[in-house]
Amino acid sequence: MPQADQSQTSQPSQLSPKGGPSSYPGAPRPLQVRAIPLRELADQLGIDAPKAPDAPKAPEEAAVTGITHDSRAVRPGDVYAALPGARLHGADFAAQAADLGAVAVLTDPGGADRAAATGLPVLAVENPRGRMGALAATIYGEPGRD
């Protein structure tokens, strides 16, 4: 079934930057997003800007352009939300998210060490699932206000 406003979202049938069809899994996303510094998201969460000693630049200045909890749907610039589950923890898939271009990991304290092993900055908060919506609204420019 088509999405309500396909003209403003990315769809698998659209062309990738290389001219071929895009193959990103997951839900459609806005085509135009303003990159948000990771520091701004940390401030919104009420935590200190994350540190990652292995990061090529200051992690708090990483440009965030998306967020997803599906490690297979990560796009370059995303925050990967590594959420606790009934049997597995999303932090177990943080390396896959890093390989796909995630710039940071949002997780709970129970997943923080596993997420940090990727070398990505980690935003560790209680109830990361409950915090994702507000972060997504910030990243995608408060689309509900339109």
pTM of the model: 0.78
pLDDT tens track for 50-75: 866 565 556 667 899 999 999 999 99
Architecture of the domain made up of 33-141: 3-Layer(aba) Sandwich (3.40)
Q: Edge to edge, what strands does the sheet with 122-124 contain?
A: 66-68, 78-82, 104-107, 122-124
User: In terms of DSSP bridges, do strands 36-37 and 78-82 run parallel, antiparallel, or are they unpaired?
Assistant: unpaired
- Which pLDDT score is estimated for 79? 97
Domain ranges of the chain: 1-32, 33-141
More confident position, 119 or 18 = 119
User: What is the pLDDT, as a whole number, of residue 36?
Assistant: 94
Please give the Cα distance from 58 to 49 (Å, whole number). Answer: 10
